[in-house]
Amino acid sequence: MRTPVRAQSREGEVPVAKEDRGFASMDRGKQKEIASKGGKAAHHKGTAHEWTSEEAREAGRKGGVASHRRKQEQAAAFVPVAPGSSETGAAGDVSSSEERGSVAAQTLR
């Protein structure tokens, strides 16, 4: 278990753990409320980014490509340990000492 790190406090202040400070430590409802106010203020000021349909399309395409690539890499990293077994292991894992010897012999050739 991690011991909370105490922030330095000024005289008369109660020390607070770093984990208990900031935006990330707030509950989701409070975060949403603050973020909403910021978004509304940016739109009102005219500095908020508004996506064009082309920008949104490109962002969605990039996300889909990255997700698909990650799934393929994960699938390639695991192979069945033994025929008919429901357990999986990392690619290249060998399930028995006999097979390990066979693999070692092939490597030395």
What are 76-106's pLDDT values in tens digits? 887 666 666 655 555 555 555 555 555 444 5
Q: What is the mean pLDDT of the chain?
A: 75
DSSP assigned state of 8: P
Mean per-residue pLDDT for 61-68?
91
Token pair of 57 as six digits: 């399309």
Q: Which two tokens stand for residue 81?
A: 């340990």
Lowest mean pLDDT among 14-23, 32-41, 52-61, 92-101: 92-101
Average pLDDT over residues 23-43: 92
Q: Please report where in the chains the tokens 């008919």 appear, as a residue.
A: 84
pLDDT of residue 42: 92
Helix ranges (H only) for the chain are: 28-45, 53-77, 97-108
Q: Give the type of residue at 6.
A: R
Task: Indicate the pTM of the whole model.
Answer: 0.34
Report DSSP state, residue 6: B
